[in-house]
Amino acid sequence: MKEGDKVKLPWWVELLFVQIGLPDKWLRSLLKAQKNSKKFALENTKTIGYSILTITILLYLYPLIRQAKNYNSCIESTYAFASELKSTKFQSDMPAISIANHFCNGGEL
């Protein structure tokens, strides 16, 4: 490299270490960590890919699982309530579980 050549620094180096004035020791450790993380990512691409796929599947399925849990708890509580009502004053030919299912799907009790 010649003396007149300018080295183009990344924007974050320019901002943090030139403009703000953070210590050079931190720059060395950041660059070393960046190098090590790139090396780690290249060596473990398969594992990282499977991890990302697993996390994506779990994030996709979680709302479905939560909805099923809420629906089951609705059925449970409405079933208990409908069983009480059926034995006292509520006369219906439908079993209590059918009444609970109908209520949890937007029907009336």
Residue 3 banded pLDDT, cuts 50, 70, 90: low
Give pLDDT tens digits for 35-70: 999 999 999 999 999 999 999 999 999 999 999 999
Neighbours of 82 (CB within 10 A): 24
Neighbours of 103 (CB within 10 A): 18
Cα 86 from Cα 97, distance rounded (Å): 11
| Extents of the domains making up the chain | 1-43, 45-109
